[in-house]
Amino acid sequence: QLETLEQEEQECLELRPHPTEKRTHIVSHQHGMTVTKTLQEGEAEPQCQSFCYSRAKLQGLLLEGASLLLLRVLARRQTMPPDLVFPAIDTEGDLCTSSY
């Protein structure tokens, strides 16, 4: 049973004259999960978007940190179950699937 309680991602692109910073914060709560994305380009005001997903939609969700842990366990066991597919959240904050 792997469960992500909170995850933070940050990307910075240092291109002149407008450096870009992108942050994604994912937090689990009683009703499901909230994904908050923030994008800041140069000196402009940050743009923020939030998405909420219910627990029912997230059944079996595998986020990046848990995915890395699972890959290490599978590599250590030197086995891969057939058709291993999990719900995931893509870089845009949308639900998708991740298969191995």
Is 31 within a domain?
A: yes
Total domain count for the chain?
A: 1
Range of the domain at 80: 6-99
Average pLDDT, the chain: 85
pLDDT in tens, 56-99: 888 878 777 777 888 888 889 888 888 888 888 877 777 888 88
Is 1 within a domain?
A: no
Is 93 within a domain?
A: yes
At 2 the pLDDT is: 63
Query: How many angstroms separate the CA atoms of 38 and 8, rounded?
Result: 11
Query: How many angstroms separate the CA atoms of 6 and 63, rounded?
Result: 10
Q: Which H or E element spans position 71?
A: helix 64-77
Give the residue among 67, 68, 64 at the shortest CA–CA distance from 93. 64
Is 42 within a domain?
A: yes
Is 69 within a domain?
A: yes
pTM recorded for the entire structure: 0.71
Is 51 within a domain?
A: yes
The contacts of residue 20 (CB under 8 Å, 6+ apart) are 12, 13, 39, 40, 41, 42
